[in-house]
Amino acid sequence: MAEQLGEDSILPATLTSAVQTSQPGVVRVERVRGIGLGGDHPHLHTLQSELGAAGFMVRHYRDPERMKWSKLLTNIVSNATSAILGWTPEQVYAHPGTARLEIEALREAVRVMRRSGFSPHDLPGVQVALLGRAIFLPPLLTRRLLGQIVSKGRGAKKPSLHYDIGRGRSEVEWLNGAIVKRGGLLEVPTPVNRILTQTLLELVHRQRPHQDFINQPQKLLQLFTSERA
């Protein structure tokens, strides 16, 4: 977008309110949280005031990169794994094996963030800093905590990446794939995010039948076992 419109026309922002498009042109707000605005664009304070007057909870972040990566951390929670297995987020965290994968994927993301020079911070209505610390607790504790978080936040709702399967394109390259790319540049290992990205892209591009993984966590776990062998 910046290449097409120019850097001066772009203002970094993130939406933390949960929304769903029920049909073209119709957006339903499912959970009100807020909007984060980043950087020092000349129109930032004007936009912040207007959004606030419209009823949005708005917060300004000096470091747009840190804001973006904090949002990315929340976006990958039980997203790719759920989509691959055709499971809800609750099911992912109820299974000990897939819960371990999820936790390690989040840990990889935070390690990449730390190597980049920043840590997760809170976004409007979302305690991302707490998430960034909680994932390094003992695994059983982390699993219980994240299970409660996804149950309240997503529950039985299908993750966004679920809708990419078979479409020929996916945002996973800008989520788990971004972690892999930055990790490669910074020499931070990201094997879990790499396999999640590769596997989901194979399903997105119909290079592998989705039926191979639906309700079969052992198939996904086997990919990681083979990777470590």
Strands of the sheet with 13-15, listed across from one edge? 13-15, 35-38, 58-61
Q: Please report, to the nearest 10 degrees, the dihedral formed by the alpha carbons of residues 28, 34, 143, 99 taken in order.
A: 50
Amino acid letter for position 14: T
Question: With bands split at pLDDT 50, 70 and 90, how would you rate the model's confidence at 229?
Answer: low
pLDDT digits (tens, 9 = 90+) for 28-55: 887 889 999 998 888 899 999 999 999 9
pLDDT digits (tens, 9 = 90+) for 78-129: 999 999 999 999 899 999 999 999 999 999 999 999 999 999 999 999 999 9
- Quote the tokens at residue 226: 């083979």
Q: Which fold has domain 63-228?
A: N-(1-d-carboxylethyl)-l-norvaline Dehydrogenase; domain 2 (1.10.1040)
Q: What distance in Å separates the CA atoms of residue 44 and residue 42, rounded to the nearest whole number?
A: 6
Q: Which residues pair with 21 in a beta bridge?
A: 27
Phi first, then psi: give them for residue 110, nearest 5 degrees.
-70, -35
pLDDT digits (tens, 9 = 90+) for 130-165: 999 999 999 888 888 888 877 666 656 678 898 899
Domain boundaries defined on the chain: 8-62, 63-228
Residue 139's pLDDT is 84
Bin 115: left if φ > 0, else alpha if -120 < ψ < 50, else beta: alpha
Tokens 């309700």 correspond to 215
Q: What distance in Å separates the CA atoms of residue 206 and residue 31, rounded to the nearest whole number?
A: 33
Q: By the 8 A CB rule, do 117 and 78 touch? A: no
Tokens 């973006």 correspond to 68
Q: What distance in Å separates the CA atoms of residue 152 and residue 76, rounded to the nearest whole number?
A: 16
Tokens 């000990």 correspond to 96
Q: By the 8 A CB rule, do 34 and 48 touch? A: no
pLDDT digits (tens, 9 = 90+) for 54-81: 998 999 999 999 999 999 999 999 999 9
Quote the radius of gyration of the chain (alpha carbons, Å).
18
Q: What distance in Å separates the CA atoms of residue 39 and residue 44, rounded to the nearest whole number?
A: 8
* Residue-wise DSSP of 3-72: HHH-GGG---EEE-SEEEEEETTEEEEEE---EEEES--TTHHHHHHHHHHTT--EEEES-HHHHHHHHH
pLDDT digits (tens, 9 = 90+) for 188-198: 999 999 999 99
Amino acid letter for position 209: P
